[in-house]
Chains A and B, each alone.
Chain A
Amino acid sequence: GEDVEQSLFLSVREGDSSVINCTYTDSSSTYLYWYKQEPGAGLQLLTYIFSNMDMKQDQRLTVLLNKKDKHLSLRIADTQTGDSAIYFCAVKGEYGNKLVFGAGTILRVKS
């Protein structure tokens, strides 16, 4: 079945850029997402990219998609302490709205 993998932990200094990586196996994925989860909260949709795009920029966030390698990344520019959270990569297949999630990357921002 589908599989999504992420590195588990990333630590950066405030003001630096953060890059969170994700790989997936389902080549029929149509949409790919990045969600943020803070302690005790639900999932906040940060950004998403359609599978026919290579890049999407949204303020401090840049998403890069390499379909050939099935690799997705999220770059956060000028990382702030408020960005500390768990970031989930998720992919959607061709049918319906089922999302398959990675295990999440814990981002720690040091001041």
Chain B
Amino acid sequence: KAGVTQTPRYLIKTRGQQVTLSCSPISGHRSVSWYQQTPGQGLQFLFEYFSETQRNKGNFPGRFSGRQFSNSRSEMNVSTLELGDSALYLCASSAPGEGKAFFGQGTRLTVV
């Protein structure tokens, strides 16, 4: 069974631009969650999508948004990038009724 796939792996953007990251969950998993990892703040929850609906949201500004498609693939978008958005963005997928959450390799975003 293929794992969680995140694309791209690395991204360099300029302040003020926007970026879209993609996550393909494990086949059969309908829940996708996104996290931001930085040296200063650690791992912070961004949002969770389940069956195309946002089910939970963390404390991030509205510049951070996401969506989920009918095939459970998810995208997150960050608009008007700031230097502080530089981070490793991780996506996790979970199967219905199971407690396990599996993570992808992450997308390393650098904002210059």
> What residues of chain A have their CB less than 8 Å away from a CB belonging to chain B?
30-31, 33, 35, 41-45, 48, 50, 88, 90, 92, 95-104
Are A88 and B43 in contact, with the CB atoms below 8 A? yes
Are B106 and A42 in contact, with the CB atoms below 8 A? yes
Interface size class of B (residues with CB under 8 A): 20 to 34
Q: Return chain B residues, CB-CB under 8 Å to A102.
A: 42
Are B55 and A48 in contact, with the CB atoms below 8 A? no
A interface secondary structure, majority: strand
Q: Return chain B residues, CB-CB under 8 Å to A31.
A: 99
Are B100 and A99 in contact, with the CB atoms below 8 A? no
Query: What residue of chain B has the Cβ atom nearest to residue A93's Cβ?
Result: B56
Are B99 and A99 in contact, with the CB atoms below 8 A? no
Q: Does B68 contact A (CB under 8 A)?
A: no
Interface centre among A33, A43, A102, A103 (most CB of B within 10 A): A43
Are B50 and A96 in contact, with the CB atoms below 8 A? yes
Q: Return chain B residues, CB-CB under 8 Å to A103.
A: 42
Rounded to whole angstroms, the CA-CA distance of A100 and B42 in the bound complex is 10
CB A55 to nearest CB in B, in angstroms, measures 16
Rounded to whole angstroms, the CA-CA distance of A67 and B101 in the bound complex is 21
Are A96 and B101 in contact, with the CB atoms below 8 A? no
Are B99 and A92 in contact, with the CB atoms below 8 A? yes
Q: Does B45 contact A (CB under 8 A)?
A: yes
Are B55 and A99 in contact, with the CB atoms below 8 A? no
CB A64 to nearest CB in B, in angstroms, measures 18
Q: Return chain A residues, CB-CB under 8 Å to B101.
A: 33, 45, 92, 97, 99
Are B105 and A99 in contact, with the CB atoms below 8 A? no
